[in-house]
């Protein structure tokens, strides 16, 4: 809490207070309303027959027997849905040269990954729909599959999608021009080849959608477990040719999203058409096996990187080659190139060096599509950079904390930019490092490590600095031609009883968006928080906005709420001035009561003011305009992104005989600007750390050499569980952005951004006495034991 | 996914259960705790036409000492009971020691010892512990009941010497003797997961020397596996470092784990040696 006091630091301010979620009790009581809970009259259920082939031509489909099965109302193929729905292509204009094949809800003549939905059955129950799947006959002709990154790029490679000129989706290069000279002159060069496994979101609530086409009015209502209802309103409208105003998307309670629930999925698009064909509501809920073969995957990068340092330990340059294997096409509408793009742009971001070169290759293959998932690109850029920094420190005989102290951008150097073009308004790397060292008793841990090593106990300490992209402007998607909004909208009203309603476009998936919006509105209006009701997630009742992605809920949605509440407050005080025959400037609204600003003496309750405005306007002067509802939009201005920063520490113990690693403790110092609710920020950080530790030690979508997923169930895909997770200590530094009144930046991805990097450094630190190292995530016992040469 | 439609009966006696099976033309499955069967049905990996619910058969219940002093465990003994029951702790401590490693509490409250052993998953704890304990398995069939030594029970992956329609009734475990020492542990990626390797050891050490060693591994092959060479290497020793090393070395002749996509066979053998060494070391240093 080191930010200067300002307009938000009023006594009893709700901003900066740890308040619990108003919706937590309802969800704990089992009164949540998820898409799965919804049952509409005449509702049908969809199930999909999926391809067992990795890559194949569809020769013929025989659905006759399935149509005759009990309860079956419709069997639909790709051709049936293509007649209703226009195809989509996952490219963005600002990714020059990017290409991808057009997609349909269900394939017309080719399947490009194992698990792809091919035929839909709609029946009175899900069980009956699944029964009918068994009666469908599809003749496939097996085609060569692309399942290896290097093989995919060879000129004579088979194609992941028939007819493609090659398997290259996108290539990008960055070069400051002086990298070769820097490396030639460097005292030391460290280099490594890194591999980052594929993983996936594994939300508690799987994907779920219930489409309700009303042919009588030409209206489509979609109950959809999504982060971005407005984006889907637009997509359903345009691809199915329904006027936007006739499409309503409702995102009710959502059980986690992490970036996974904002992409177009073939089954979801199909369900819209299935409802139109049946003229009845149709529900589809992905089961866990379907989730593994259809939810987006993420990561899957191979990075070759080197770093040049001088004799004093100053980093001079980085040179990076990132190759990432996506699916057989690029995901729509946000593409599958953003992660790689962020990997090469975030490399080295916390450090002062100016010379940088990178090449990115985004490659098609016959696997599940990849796209944005929590901390897009950050963990990869962070792990590569931070591991190279540790390798340089080892080469130089420097302590890892010391080499960072010498190279992190000084806290007084802002504004400045990165060699990749990112602009930093104000960060706190050096203070974060100092805070982390104190928080974890870094020197004490090092001393303990030395003592224990002598006794054959191998502990490792890893630290990792990071920046995080938040509050994205239209520079993210808008300039690429995607109809994905960077602004948000809010409607704030005083009800006749003097309560407050806020309908806002940012959405809630469990992270507490509604809580912080309520805090901000209550704070800025001057009413008790309990009297503010926040509504989200319905395109019919909330204004259009970006919703929830890329860490923008607090920074952009929060600022929207703040500005809207300030306008409403001004209207309230203006009306109070009229009623009280006082100057509005002499009045204030505190705790739901209009008071005299100077003395604090009560003048009129908000409820009384609302009663007069709504029911006794006859008592007001003729020219009074009682505007107790305000609609307000806010789009980020100034910096294209509000970068945040921080640093993490990880303490592990390696069992060198078994390759097992116990994570002893984890620390985070983060700076997300103005903290609205410390409790929720801590939860975001901890949850993010756990997802990063999952990537570091457990989570991986494993494929065999033919392109078949071999661990697509929760028995075989290991998500991090509470028993294996350490205590996570969180410290905060606050450097608010000056671009907004609120000063908040994002915090949802910070935990994930650097925890795997800190873990990677910790494990390598523990392996040092053995002369062994590891550069592949997840760090499984098998990989660690192999690195140790134990079998 | 949703299970395919099926019929359900709840017999009152073993005889009724066997009759129900006989009348179902091979399309029936017994269900007790359902902790493996129900997920398999939900995944449509199994689609029996008839479920015969044996969870209420009194004849399959009970934990008691036989007239010969051995322990009789009804097949319906829950995993949680294996953990808590004092008779089991006294006479079959390996079951109690292994129980906390079996999945999670909710599963242990429903899952039964009979179900686990009848399924014969080589990565499960209880089948291997029945080997280590020298259990005899009582099964009922149309021809009456018979007893099968645990040694002869496990045939191959998920395959036992039980005939289709036979019902696992009870386990008979020899009474513990003074000087018996037991230890169990396993190496699993996460608490409650199937282990990469697990091991239970029962040593008869009435006078400081190993009279008899029984060592059983799980997750090292298609069936739970006795490590007879390692047992022989330990027999007659005082459980000293040399004896332990000999037992570890002998495992190469006992185990031949195959490569899978996660764990190479050589690594699994290495882990088995490390685990056995640690377990025996624990017994050696115990008071």
Mean local confidence (pLDDT), A506-530: 96
Percent share of chain A, pLDDT over 90: 97
Chain A residues near residue B266 by CB distance under 8 angstroms: 791
* Per-residue confidence band for A594, with pLDDT thresholds at 50, 70 and 90: very high
The verdict on B205 and B164 lying in the same domain is no
DSSP A73-130: EEEE-HHHHHTTS--B----TTSTT-----B-SS-SSEE-STT-EEEEEEESSHHHHH
Q: pLDDT for A700-743, tens place per residue?
A: 999 999 999 999 999 999 999 999 999 999 999 999 999 999 99
Closest Cα of chain B to A492: distance in Å? 43
pLDDT at A3 over 70: no
**Is the pLDDT at A1 greater than 50, yes or no?**
no
Terminal-to-terminal C-alpha distance of chain A:
51
The Cα of B1 is separated from the nearest Cα of chain A by a number of Å equal to: 6
Mean pLDDT of all residues in A25-35: 94
The CATH code of domain A35-143+202-294 reads: 3.90.1170.50
Q: Is the pLDDT of residue A611 over 50?
A: yes
Taking contacts as CB-CB distances below 8 angstroms, the residues of chain A near B192 are 721, 723
Q: What secondary structure letter does DSSP report for A412?
A: T
Across the interface, do A782 and B262 touch by the CB < 8 Å criterion?
yes
pTM value > 0.95: yes
pLDDT above 70 for A9 = no
Q: Is the pLDDT of residue A518 over 80?
A: yes
pLDDT at B286: 84
CB A525 within 8 A of CB A628: no
CATH number, residue B13: 3.30.43.10
pLDDT at position A22 is 86
Same domain, B102 and B123: yes
Task: Say if the Cβ atoms of B264 and A130 lie within 8 Å.
Answer: no
Strand partners, A304: A193, A321
The domains of chain A are located at 24-32+487-634, 35-143+202-294, 378-473+639-787
CA–CA separation, A217 and A524 (whole Å): 41
pLDDT at residue B153 tops 50: yes
Given the structure tokens 């303990």, which residue do they identify? A448
Q: Could you tell me the CATH number of the domain that includes residue B169?
A: 3.30.465.10
CATH of the domain at B199: 3.30.390.50
Question: Could you say which of 3.40.50.2000, 1.20.950.20, 3.40.50.300, 3.30.365.10 is the CATH number of the domain covering A24-32+487-634?
Answer: 3.30.365.10
Looking at the predicted structure, is the pLDDT value of residue A467 above 60? yes
Chain B residues with CB-CB distance to A294 below 8 A: none
Comparing alpha-carbon positions, the chain A residue that sits nearest to B265 is A791
Taking alpha carbons only, the member of A338, A217, A214 closest to residue A272 is A214
So what's the pLDDT on residue A549? 92
Using an 8 Å CB-CB cutoff, list chain B residues near A696. none
Assign A2 a pLDDT band (cuts: 50, 70, 90). Answer: very low
pLDDT tens digits for range A474-499:
988 999 999 999 999 999 999 999 99
Mark which of B133, B151, B173 sits at the end of a domain: B173
Do A658 and B187 make contact, defined as CB atoms within 8 angstroms? yes
Q: State the pLDDT at residue A11.
A: 63
Give the strand pairing for A110-111 and A137-142: unpaired
B196 and B244 belong to one structural domain: yes
Cβ B191–A723 below 8 Å, yes or no? yes
Residue A437 structure tokens: 């060292």
Q: What is the mean pLDDT of residues A528-545?
A: 97
Kindly list the distances between the CA atom of residue A71 and the CA atoms of A61, A124, A128, A161, A278, in Å, as whole numbers in the listed order: 20, 5, 6, 36, 13
**pLDDT band with cut points at 50, 70 and 90 for residue A7:** low
Number of domain units in chain B:
3
pLDDT at A211 > cutoff 60: yes
* Sequence-separated (6 or more) residues with CB below 8 Å from residue A596: A582, A586, A587, A588, A603
B70 and B164 both lie in a single domain: yes
Q: Is the pLDDT of residue A116 over 60?
A: yes
Report how far residue A53's alpha carbon sits from residue A144's, in angstroms, rounded to the nearest whole number.
10
For chains A and B, CB pairs below 8 A equal 57
Question: Which residue bears the tokens 């037992």?
Answer: B247
Q: Which residue has the tokens 């450090």?
A: A351
Domain for residue B155, yes or no? yes
Distance CA B9, CA B18 (A): 12
Q: Are residues B224 and B158 located together in one domain of the fold?
A: no
Q: Which residues of B touch A710 (CB under 8 A)?
A: 261
ipTM of the complex: 0.96
Structure tokens at A416: 């400045």
With a CB cutoff of 8 Å and minimum separation 6, the contacts of A76 are A106, A119, A120, A122, A270, A273, A274, A277
Separation between Cα atoms, residue A463 and residue A453, nearest integer Å: 19
Q: B181: which residues sit within 8 A by CB, 6+ positions away?
A: B202, B203, B205, B283, B286
Residue the block writes with tokens 């729905």: A85
Domain hosting B274: range is 180-285
CB neighbour burial string for A449-487, b if at least 16 within 10 angstroms, e if fewer: beeeeeeeebbbbbbbbbbbbbbbbbebbbebebebbbb
Distance CA A760, CA A756 (A): 6
Protein fold of A378-473+639-787: Aldehyde Oxidoreductase; domain 4 (3.30.365)
Residues A293-322 have pLDDT tens digits of 999 999 999 999 999 999 999 999 999 999
Query: What are the pLDDT digits (tens) for A402-417?
Result: 999 999 999 999 999 9
By the CB < 8 Å criterion, does A782 face chain B?
yes
Say whether A35-143+202-294 and A24-32+487-634 share the same fold: no
B57 min Cα distance to partner chain A (Å): 31
Contacts of B44 in chain A (CB under 8 A): 130
Nearest neighbour of B191 by CB, restricted to A724, A782, A790 = A724
Residues 123-182 of A with CB under 8 A from B: 125-127, 130-131
Q: Are residues B266 and B223 in the same domain?
A: yes
Closest-approach residue (CA) in chain A for B259: A782
d(CA A535, CA A505): 9
The β-bridge relationship of strands A644-655 and A660-671 is antiparallel
Percent of chain A with pLDDT over 70: 98
- A126 with B2: Cβ contact below 8 A: yes
Q: Which 3-state string (H, E, C) describes B11-78?
A: CCCHHHHHHHHHCCCCCEEEECCCCCHHHHHHCCCCCCCEEEECCCCHHHCCEEECCCCCEEEECCCE
| Mean pLDDT of the residues in chain A | 96
A285 CB burial (10 A radius; 0-12, 13-18, 19+):
buried
Share of chain B above pLDDT 90, in %: 98
């Amino acid at each position: 809490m080191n930010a200067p006091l300002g307009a938000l630091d009023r006594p009893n301010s709700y901003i900066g207070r740890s308040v619990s979620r108003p919706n937590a009790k309802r969800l704990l009581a089992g009164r949540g309303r998820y898409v799965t809970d919804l049952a509409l009259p005449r509702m049908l259920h969809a199930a999909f027959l999926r391809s067992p082939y990795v890559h194949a031509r569809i020769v013929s489909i025989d659905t006759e027997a399935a149509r005759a099965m009990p309860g079956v109302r419709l069997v639909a193929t790709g051709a049936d849905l293509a007649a209703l729905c226009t195809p989509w292509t996952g490219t963005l204009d600002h990714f020059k040269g990017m290409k991808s094949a057009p997609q349909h809800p269900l394939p017309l003549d080719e399947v490009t990954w194992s698990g792809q939905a091919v035929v839909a059955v709609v029946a009175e129950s899900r069980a009956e729909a699944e029964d009918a799947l068994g009666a469908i006959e599809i003749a496939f002709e097996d085609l060569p599959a692309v399942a290896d990154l290097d093989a995919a790029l060879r000129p004579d490679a088979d194609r992941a999608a028939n007819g493609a000129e090659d398997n290259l989706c996108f290539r990008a290069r960055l070069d400051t021009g002086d990298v070769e000279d820097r490396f030639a002159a460097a005292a030391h060069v460290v280099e490594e080849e890194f591999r980052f496994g594929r993983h996936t979101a594994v939300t508690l609530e799987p994907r779920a959608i219930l489409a309700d086409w009303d042919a009588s009015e030409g209206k489509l209502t979609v109950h959809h477990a999504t982060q971005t209802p407005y984006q889907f309103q637009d997509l359903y409208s345009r691809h199915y040719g329904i006027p936007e105003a006739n499409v309503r998307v409702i995102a009710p309670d959502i059980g986690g999203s992490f970036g996974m629930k904002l992409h177009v999925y073939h089954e979801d698009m199909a369900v819209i058409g299935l409802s139109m064909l049946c003229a009845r509501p149709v529900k589809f809920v992905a089961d866990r096996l379907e989730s593994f073969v259809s939810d987006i995957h993420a990561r899957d990068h191979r990075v070759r990187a080197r770093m040049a340092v001088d004799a004093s330990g100053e980093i001079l340059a980085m040179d990076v080659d990132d190759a990432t294997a996506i699916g057989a096409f690029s995901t729509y509408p946000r593409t599958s190139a953003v992660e790689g793009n962020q990997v090469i742009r975030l490399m080295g971001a916390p450090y002062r060096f100016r010379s940088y070169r990178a090449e990115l290759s985004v490659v098609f293959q016959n696997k599940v599509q990849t796209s944005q998932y929590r901390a897009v690109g950050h963990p990869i850029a962070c792990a590569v950079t931070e591991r190279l920094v540790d390798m340089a420190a080892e080469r130089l005989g420097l302590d890892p904390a010391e080499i960072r102290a010498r190279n992190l951008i000084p806290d007084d150097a802002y504004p400045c930019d990165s060699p990749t073009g990112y602009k930093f308004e104000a960060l706190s790397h050096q203070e974060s490092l100092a805070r982390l060292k104190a928080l974890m008793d870094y020197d004490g841990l090092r001393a303990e490590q030395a003592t224990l090593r002598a006794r054959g106990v191998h502990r490792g300490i890893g630290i990792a600095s990071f920046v995080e992209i938040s509050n994205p402007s239209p520079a993210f998607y808008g300039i690429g031609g995607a109809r994905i909004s960077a602004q948000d909208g809010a409607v704030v009203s005083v009800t006749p009883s003097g309560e407050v309603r806020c309908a806002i476009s940012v959405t809630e998936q469990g992270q507490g968006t509604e809580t912080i919006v309520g805090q901000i509105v209550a704070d800025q209006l001057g009413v008790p928080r309990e009297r503010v009701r926040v509504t989200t997630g319905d395109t019919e009742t909330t204004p259009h906005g970006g919703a929830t992605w890329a860490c923008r809920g607090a920074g952009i949605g929060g600022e929207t709420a703040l500005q809207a509440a300030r306008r409403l407050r001004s209207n309230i005080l203006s009306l109070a001035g009229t009623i009280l025959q006082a100057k509005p400037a002499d009045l204030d609204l505190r705790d739901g009561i209009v008071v005299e600003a100077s003395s604090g003496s009560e003048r009129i309750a908000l409820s009384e003011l609302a009663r007069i405005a709504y029911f006794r306007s006859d008592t007001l002067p003729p020219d009074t305009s009682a505007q107790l509802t305000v609609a307000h939009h806010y789009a980020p201005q100034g910096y294209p992104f509000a970068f945040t920063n921080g640093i993490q520490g990880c303490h592990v113990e390696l069992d060198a005989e078994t390759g097992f690693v116990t994570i002893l403790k984890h620390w985070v110092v983060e700076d997300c600007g103005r903290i609205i609710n410390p409790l929720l920020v801590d939860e975001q950080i901890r949850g993010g750390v756990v997802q990063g530790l999952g990537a570091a030690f457990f989570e991986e979508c494993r494929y065999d050499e033919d392109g078949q997923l071999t661990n697509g169930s929760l028995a075989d895909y290991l998500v991090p569980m509470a028993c294996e997770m350490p205590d996570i200590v969180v410290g905060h530094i606050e450097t608010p952005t000056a671009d907004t009144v609120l000063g908040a930046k994002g915090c949802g991805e910070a935990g994930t951004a650097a925890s795997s990097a800190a873990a990677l450094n910790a494990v390598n630190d523990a392996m040092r006495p053995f002369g062994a190292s590891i550069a592949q995530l997840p760090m499984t016992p098998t990989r660690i034991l192999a690195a140790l040469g134990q079998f | 996914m949703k299970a395919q439609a099926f019929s359900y009966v709840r017999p009152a006696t073993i005889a009724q259960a066997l009759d129900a099976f006989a009348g179902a033309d091979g399309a029936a499955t017994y269900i007790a705790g359902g902790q493996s069967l129900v997920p398999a049905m939900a995944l449509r990996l199994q689609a029996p036409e008839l479920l015969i619910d044996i969870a209420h058969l009194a004849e399959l219940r009970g934990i008691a000492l036989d007239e010969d002093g051995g322990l009789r465990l009804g097949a319906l003994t829950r995993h949680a009971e294996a953990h808590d029951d004092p008779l089991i702790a006294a006479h079959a401590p390996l079951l109690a020691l292994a129980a906390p490693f079996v999945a999670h509490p909710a599963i242990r409250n429903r899952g039964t010892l009979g179900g686990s052993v009848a399924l014969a998953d080589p990565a499960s704890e209880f089948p291997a512990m029945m080997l280590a304990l020298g259990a005899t398995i009582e099964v009922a069939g149309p021809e009456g009941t018979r007893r099968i030594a645990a040694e002869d029970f496990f045939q191959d992956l998920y395959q036992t010497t039980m005939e289709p329609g036979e019902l696992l009734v009870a386990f008979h475990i020899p009474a513990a003797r003074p000087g018996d020492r037991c230890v169990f542990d396993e190496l699993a990626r996460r608490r409650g997961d199937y282990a990469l390797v697990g091991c239970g050891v029962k040593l008869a050490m009435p006078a400081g020397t190993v009279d008899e060693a029984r060592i059983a591994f799980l997750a090292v092959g298609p069936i739970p596996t006795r490590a007879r060479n390692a047992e022989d290497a330990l027999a007659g020793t005082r459980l000293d470092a040399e004896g332990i090393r000999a037992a570890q070395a002998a495992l190469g002749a006992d185990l031949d784990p195959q490569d899978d996509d996660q764990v190479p066979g050589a690594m699994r053998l290495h882990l088995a040696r490390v685990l056995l060494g640690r377990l025996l070391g624990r017994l050696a240093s115990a008071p």
